[in-house]
């Protein structure tokens, strides 16, 4: 029986998980024919494929992707030499820009967003089309420092109209 309190986003997410993983299990390749990384070997629950656009010259993006993979996501990474245009097309407000931009379940994630917050937005929905951690704060996921140094940071939610609001503290 379908619960009446389920949001449209929950339904779309559920359908995406079912469809994407049914297809991904058959080939291990994205629809563009690019190899995707596999799920982590820790028995993590299946997640939809995350697409990460990155500047070809930025190595920290790979660190953030490894964290997403450890959390059970399959990730397709695409190098994009015109990241400002990509961000504009996906609705990322310019003041929230960081080094990489991810798409997952119809949502946008800019920069070093902690995976727990990413999962929360995907599962719970809300008024936002995405989350961002502007800049590249030390100690954020993928920006860990050898000496353990951390900068305080906020995870910012943004909507289609460019409105922003603190979603969580990092």
Sorting pLDDT into bands at 50, 70 and 90, what band is 89? very high
Determine how many CB atoms are found less than 10 A away from the CB of residue 114: 19
- Sign of the CA dihedral 6, 11, 17, 19? positive
d(CA 33, CA 38): 15
* 5-9, 148-152, 161-165: segment of lowest average pLDDT: 5-9
Sorting pLDDT into bands at 50, 70 and 90, what band is 27? very low
Looking at residue 25, what is its pLDDT? 30
Percent above pLDDT 90 for the chain: 65
Q: Give the mean pLDDT of 42-54.
A: 74
Q: Give the mean pLDDT of 121-147.
A: 94
Percent above pLDDT 70 for the chain: 72
Looking at residue 114, what is its pLDDT? 97
d(CA 95, CA 2): 40
One-character DSSP codes across 24-78 = HHHHSB-TTSPBPPPPPTT-PPP-PPEEEEE-TT-SHHHHHHHHHHHTT--EEEE
Sorting pLDDT into bands at 50, 70 and 90, what band is 98? very high
β 154-158/107-111 pair status:
unpaired
Looking at residue 63, what is its pLDDT? 92
Looking at residue 44, what is its pLDDT? 47
pLDDT over 90 (residue 145): yes
In degrees and rounded to multiples of 5, residue 150 shows phi and psi of: -140, 140
- Give the tens place of pLDDT for each residue, 67-86: 999 999 999 999 999 999 99
In degrees and rounded to multiples of 5, residue 169 shows phi and psi of: -100, 140
Q: How many degrees, rounded to 5, is the angle at CA 118 between CA 34 and CA 87?
A: 60
d(CA 80, CA 94): 17
pLDDT over 80 (residue 14): no
């Amino acid at each position: 029986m379908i619960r009446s309190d389920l949001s449209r986003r929950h339904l779309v997410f559920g359908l995406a998980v079912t469809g994407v993983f049914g297809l991904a299990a058959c080939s291990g390749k994205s629809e563009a024919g690019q190899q995707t990384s596999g799920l982590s070997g820790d028995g993590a629950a299946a997640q939809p494929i995350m697409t990460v656009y990155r500047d070809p010259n930025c190595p920290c993006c790979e660190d953030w992707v490894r964290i997403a993979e450890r959390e059970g996501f399959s990730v397709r990474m695409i190098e994009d030499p015109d990241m400002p245009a990509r961000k504009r097309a996906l609705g990322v407000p310019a003041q929230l820009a960081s080094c990489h931009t991810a798409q997952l379940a119809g949502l946008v994630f800019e920069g070093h967003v902690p995976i727990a917050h990413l999962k929360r937005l995907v599962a719970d929905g809300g008024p936002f089309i995405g989350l961002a951690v502007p800049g590249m704060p030390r100690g954020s996921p993928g920006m860990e420092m050898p000496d353990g140094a951390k900068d305080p940071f906020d995870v910012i939610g943004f909507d289609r109209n460019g409105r922003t609001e603190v979603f969580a503290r990092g």
